[in-house]
Structure 1
C-alpha cells in the first residue's frame, strides 16, 4: 500500500514566482476589466479615442498588456514577495538574493530618473513624483505579509496531515506484521521443549532467546516507546544468535560493544535493528575476508550507534537502499524530528552513525 503524498509536486523558486505572478496579474486585470464594464453599463462609454471611437473592454485589455505593462510591475513585486517568504521560512539560493538586490536598485534608479524627467518637462516638485509609488508599495507590503502568513499556515497544515497519514500507515503495517509471529512463537515453544527432552541445552538456550525476541517483537512493537534496557536486551539476543549462526572462520571478524550508564530512558521499539541487520546481510561472506563492527553507547539519555561493515562485491548495496533503512529513516523523522542525526556513508565500507536524544 503506497503512502499518499499531499505535496507530491514541489515547484522550484522561479516556477513559484512565475505562477504566482500569473495568478496575481490575472486577478488584478480581471478586477479592472469587470469594474470598467460595470461603469460602462451604468454610465455608458466615457473614454474615447481622437477619432471618436470608444475604449471597449477588449481594447482596454489590449492596452494594459501592450502599452501599460502592468505585468512587469507584478513580476517585480511578486519576486520580492516570494523572496520574503523563502527568507523567512525556507532557504533561498544566493543567486536569487543577488537578483533581488539588483531589482531593488533598478527600481530606485527608475523612480529617481522618472521624477527628474517629469520635473524638467512639467516643473513638478520631485518629492511629489517620488511619493507617488508609496501607495502601491504599501499595498504590496500588506499583500506580502498576508501571503507569507497564509502560505506558512497552509504548509504547516499539509505537513501535519501527511504526518498523521504516514503514522496511520505505519500502524497498519505493524498490525499486519503481527499475524505470522504468533504462529512462529508457538512453534518455537514446542522446539524448546523438544530440545530439553533430548538434552541439548545450547539449542534450548538459543530457541529460548529467539522466542524472547519474537515475544518482544509482538508485545513491545505495539507501544510507541519502550525502556532502553528492553531494546538493548533485544539487540544482544540478536547478536548472540548471529554469532551462533556464523561459522568460526578467520576471514570473518565480528566486533561488538555496548556501553550504558544505567540512567532510565525510552526509545521507539526496534528502531536500531534494521541498521544492524543490514550490516550482517551485506557485510558477511563465507568465502571472502569480511568484518562487521557495532558499537552502541548510551550516556545521559544520548544514544550513539555506530555500525560499519565491509562492502562485498557480491553483496554491493548503494547508499540509502533497502526497505528497512528507508522505513527507519521515516520513523526517525516522525518520532525524533529535531532530536536525531543520521549519517550514512559509503567508501570501501558501509558506515552508519546515528545520534538520538532519547526521551525519559
Structure 2
C-alpha cells in the first residue's frame, strides 16, 4: 500500500500558525524590552545566555528521562519479577537530584522545601516520560503487526483465488479442444497465456493499473464466450468503459464476482443470462452484475470462497472507500459495487 501523505492545506495551516505565533511573541518582546531609548538598550548577551541555559536544562532533562526509559524502564518495570529494582533506582535518582540542588543552593536550610518541590517535579517528568514513550512504542508495534497481518491475509486470499481460476480456464480450453479445430484452440491458448501471465505476475503486486485489470477481464470473458453455445435463450451482455485517466486497483478484485455469475447463472441447456457493466470515471469504479439464478443453484449461490474472500479484501484495502450490495431473488442474483480507486 502507498503511504498516506499529509494534505497540502494542513502543512500551510501549520506554517501560518507558527508564523503568527512567532510574530505575536516578537511584537510583545519588542514592545516590552527592545523599544527603549538608546541609553537603556537591553542586555542581549544576557538574554541569549539565559535562553541558552534554558535550552541546555531542557535537553539535559530530556536526555536523563530518555536514558531512564531505555536503561531502566524497559529493563526492569516491564518485567514483573524486576519491578522493585526500577522503583529502587528511582529513589536513588531522586536522592541524587536533590543533592545536586542542595549543592547549587550551598545547603542553605531555607531552600530545602524549594529543592524538594523541584525534585518532585523533575521525577514526575522522568516517570511520565517512561510511560508515554512506552505507549508510543506499543502503538508503533501494533501498527506494524496490523500491516503484517493485512499483507499475510491478502497473500493467503490471492493464493486461494488464483489456482481456482486457472483450473476453470484450463477446463474451458480442454472442452473446446474436443469440438473445434486447431485455429480456435490456438486463439484460446493465447488468451489463456495472457491470463496466466497477469495472474502470476500482477497478482504479486499490491496494485495494478485499471487498464490491465479490464484487459484481464476481457480475456476471461472471451474464454467464456468460446465455450458457450449460440442459443437465443442464452444471453451474455458485457460493457467495459474506462475514461482513460490513470488509476490503480487491487489485482483480481472483480473476477470472483464474474466467476460466480458463470458458475451459478449459466446453463448449457436452460434459458440463462449474464449482464455485466463496468465503468471507470474520475477514478470511481462502478460495477453492475446481474445473472440468472437457476432453480438447482438457488440454495448454494454465492456461498463459495470467491465472494467471501473479495469481501475481506475490500474491507482490508478499501475501508470506507467502497460500497458492495448483493441481493438475490427467486430468479436473479445482483451485485453492485462502487469503489474509489
Whether 1:326 and 2:269 are equivalent positions in the alignment is: no
TM-score (norm 2): 0.51
Q: Deviation of residue 333 (structure 1)?
A: 0.5
Q: Partner of 1:38 in structure 2?
A: none
For the 8 Å contact 2:264–2:301, the answer to whether it is kept is no
For the 8 Å contact 2:210–2:247, the answer to whether it is kept is yes
For the 8 Å contact 2:235–2:272, the answer to whether it is kept is yes
Aligned length: 197
Trace 1:209-220 onto structure 2 (pairs within 5 A): 209-220=191-202
d(CA) in 2 for partners of 1:326, 1:312: 21
Shift in CA distance, 170/285, structure 1 to aligned 2, threshold 3 Å:
same
Q: Deviation of residue 176 (structure 1)?
A: 7.9
Q: Partner of 2:224 in structure 1?
A: 242
Q: Deviation of residue 342 (structure 1)?
A: 0.3
Trace 1:260-299 onto structure 2 (pairs within 5 A): 260-299=242-281
SS in 1 for 2:275: strand
**Deviation digits for residues 49-103 of structure 1 (CA, Å, limit 9, x no counterpart):** xxxxxxxxxxxxxxxxxxxxxxxxxxxxxxxxxxxxxxxxxxxxxxxxxxxxxxx
Q: Deviation of residue 156 (structure 1)?
A: 12
Whether 1:351 and 2:338 are equivalent positions in the alignment is: no
Whether 1:221 and 2:221 are equivalent positions in the alignment is: no
Q: Deviation of residue 258 (structure 1)?
A: 1.0
Shift in CA distance, 321/257, structure 1 to aligned 2, threshold 3 Å:
same
Whether 1:336 and 2:307 are equivalent positions in the alignment is: no
d(CA) in 2 for partners of 1:231, 1:214: 13
d(CA) in 2 for partners of 1:280, 1:184: 11
Trace 1:9-24 onto structure 2 (pairs within 5 A): none
Q: Partner of 2:289 in structure 1?
A: 307
d(CA) in 2 for partners of 1:256, 1:183: 23
TM-score (norm 1): 0.48
For the 8 Å contact 1:181–1:218, the answer to whether it is kept is no
Shift in CA distance, 318/200, structure 1 to aligned 2, threshold 3 Å:
closer
- Gaps of at least 5 residues in structure 1 are 1-153
